[in-house]
Amino acid sequence: MPPSNITDLGIGGMTCSACVSRVERALQKVPGVAQASINLASESARVTWTAAAPADLETREAQLRRAVRDAGYEPLAREQQEALLANPWQGFAPVALGLLLSAPLVLPMLGSVWGQHWMLPALWQFLLATPVQFILGARFYKAAWHALRQGSGTMDLLVSLGTTAGWALSVWLWLHTPADAMPMLYFEGSAVVISLVLLGKWLEGRAKRQTTQAIRGLQALRPLTARILTAQGEEDIPVADLLVGDRVVVLAGARIPADGPVLEGRSQVDEAMLTGEPLPVLKEVGDTVRSGTLNGEGRLVFQVHATGAASVLSQIIRLVEDAQAAKAPIQRLVDQVSAVFVPVVLVLSLLTGLGWWFSGHGLEPALIHAVAVLVIACPCALGLATPAAIMAGTGVAAKHGILIKDAQALERAHQVGTVAFDKTGTLTVGRPRLLSLQCLDAEDDAQAAHWLGVAAALQRGSEHPLASAVKVAAEQAGLTVLTPQAVVVETGYGLQGQVGERTVLLGSLRWLQILGVPLAPWLDRAAALQAQGATVSCLAERVAEDWVPRALLAFGDEPKPGVAQALQALRAQGLRLVLISGDNAGAAHHMAKRLGLRPDEVHADVLPGDKVAWVRRLQAQTRSASHPAVAFVGDGINDAPALAAADVGMAMAGLQGGGTDVAMNAAGITLMRGDVALVGAALAISKHTVTKIRQNLFWAFAYNAAGIPLAALGYLSPVMAGAAMALSSLSVMANALWLKRWKP
């Protein structure tokens, strides 16, 4: 479900990029609308409202529907769009009727190849062509009239003008030819052009529906019912009725209806639809399950923490919809070209007709060639070139666990030349262990256990990975952990508070040095631990007015499986790799060596806020490079500022962690599993999609660039022009659909 300041609306009847511009202008005139973005491929509008917009959502939607109708198009509710998607033959009846009526008109042209004269009488040609022209073609007249009233040009205007001219010329010739002569009529041109345009739009619509399969496939994963535990036993209810706190039973082979932690049971869960990971994941008590994933052979009981629009599945669907509704920067250029394209074509058509007429060829060939120019120039392919490729690209990326938040990130990613990584949780497992706790005043087990309990108490409410390691160590030691008081967190440094009668702080050595804690006698010991790759923190106690160091805590993490190979593959692609870590230099360089990174690629002791400065510095260094964009890869929580500052932010949203929501909002691209290989895959799908966009735009312009002169010079009849125009749209859609075959 989109945010309350955004309204999505389906729109029927759009045929080209000029239609898109027209509807956008109509919607932006509605009071309270801040921005309107139309996607021709999905036939939908996304409207962003200002704070001054009507508070009532129904009033907003009513205003938008009226604006769409006034512009000459039909607003469609989601149910109507889903009905259109459900029936693959929807809308084929007018196409079939047009082809049936046009076939007898085309047969004489085919017969003439073999010397046969099957020409129908003029009356029969009139009777066959007129229903096609004015009944099946009524949609073109209606849309063209609305376009003229608003002073804009669309494909419908070109089609209606061209075919009407051909039909009217045929009627004029028929009425002014002697009864004993056979006039040269062009009814077949008008009828066949309309039939071909209708066929092309119908085939195009079928192709469009394939580009939206990603979203429909995700939506189909939502189960309709859920089995909850009540005081009376188990009861099946609609998923829409689930409440936070409900306990839900998931049987073997069933889809999980909401998000929440497992309370009972143990089972393998297939999360491929969220992460792209083909292997099932073991879920035990305390692990989180997600809506839409498929339970294996075990029985699970979990408690609902998020359902409906708050579930990860709904957020993923919204993310894919947002990306497919957004316009790539290159599409804005296409829209500007399309705004002047139709008026230019009308002028060219007029000049073509006048040129043939004044050169002594007569009115008939002049009109025919002018009509051919109008028909061949329809900018359908131009309007579809970019959105069709973006929809296919974002859809196939989502299938493999790569969620692209907006079209700008997709288009920008292929220009990435530098990839900067956070360390903990991105390149490493992100679950550090407490390797050792060394007391600074006395080396005995009782003292070590005491200070471990104090450290665990101080970090009792913290979700930081190092805090979790301390709490796990205390739990394994069987210690009783007190509840701290007056805890104050210094982001990026540590925290301090009251544990029992003691005032203590726990944080980085750098923080303690800033506070003036006397660490000099212990720095050699800390340096030795850091040289071994450990992250070192210090626990200090306030005695009178001074801080006294009590213990050194050494933490260690492990690199993720396969991460060294993934980094090597990125380097082989010519990418510059950089590690930006808040860890100490010793630990960062030790881990970098294990990962195959060079010392000059490591920047350590960087606070979360300073990572933005490093991203800016990298951007300044690469500004003149052939691939100037800088990507930052982090876990989406403490790295959010750097993710937002980078040209392309990639957040690893591990589904077992709590960073999924933050990751989706902070970064342009979200990697739904913590696999560094997905970074290369995200850059690859961006490159493939941008390539398809460029190919589509080339073919769209090439058809017009070649077709208009050929039609103006008399080498293309209106029928051939109509076929070429339909073929251009189909070729663009078919080229975009090749992206569906992409695999990481």
Catalogue the active-site residues.
Answer: 422
User: Which helix (H) or strand (E) covers residue 573, if one does?
Assistant: none
Residues 323, 404: contact at Cβ < 8 Å?
Answer: yes
Tokens representing residue 3 in the block: 């945010």
Residues 309, 1: contact at Cβ < 8 Å?
Answer: yes
* Pairwise CA distance, residues 662 & 641, whole Å: 11
* HSE-up of residue 411 (Cα within 13 Å, Cβ side): 19
Residues 228, 247: contact at Cβ < 8 Å?
Answer: yes
Other CB atoms closer than 10 Å to residue 645's CB: what's the count? Answer: 17
Strands 602-603 and 576-580: parallel
Tokens representing residue 658 in the block: 């709590």
* HSE-up of residue 676 (Cα within 13 Å, Cβ side): 29
* Pairwise CA distance, residues 412 & 690, whole Å: 9
**Closest to 324 measured CA to CA, from 413, 400, 382, 409:** 409
Residues 257, 238: contact at Cβ < 8 Å?
Answer: no
* Pairwise CA distance, residues 124 & 105, whole Å: 9
The sign one gets for the Cα dihedral 142, 148, 153, 158 is: positive
Give me the residue label for tokens 């104050």: 488
Across 351-479, the runs of DSSP E, i.e. the strands, are 402-404, 416-421, 433-439
User: Which helix (H) or strand (E) covers residue 637, if one does?
Assistant: none
Count helices and strands in the chain by DSSP H and E runs: 26, 26
Strands of the sheet with 281-283, listed across from one edge: 281-283, 267-270, 294-295
Buried b (16+ CB within 10 A) or exposed e, 236-257: ebebeebeeebbbbbeeebbbb
**Residue 222: strand pairing partners:** none
- Residue partners of 68: CB distance under 8 A and separation at least 6: 9, 11, 23, 26, 27, 45, 74, 75
Q: What is the DSSP string of 584-636?
A: -HHHHHHHHHHHT--GGGEE-S--HHHHHHHHHHHHHHTTTSSS-EEEEEE-S
- Residue partners of 705: CB distance under 8 A and separation at least 6: none
* Pairwise CA distance, residues 204 & 381, whole Å: 10
* Pairwise CA distance, residues 232 & 224, whole Å: 22
* Pairwise CA distance, residues 187 & 102, whole Å: 9
Tokens representing residue 406 in the block: 């907006």
First vs last Cα of the chain: how many Å apart? 29
DSSP 738: G
Residues 516, 547: contact at Cβ < 8 Å?
Answer: yes
- Residue partners of 717: CB distance under 8 A and separation at least 6: 189, 368, 372
Provide the 3-class DSSP secondary structure of residue 380. helix
* Pairwise CA distance, residues 667 & 422, whole Å: 14
* Pairwise CA distance, residues 717 & 158, whole Å: 15
Strands 629-634 and 416-421: parallel
* Pairwise CA distance, residues 292 & 315, whole Å: 12
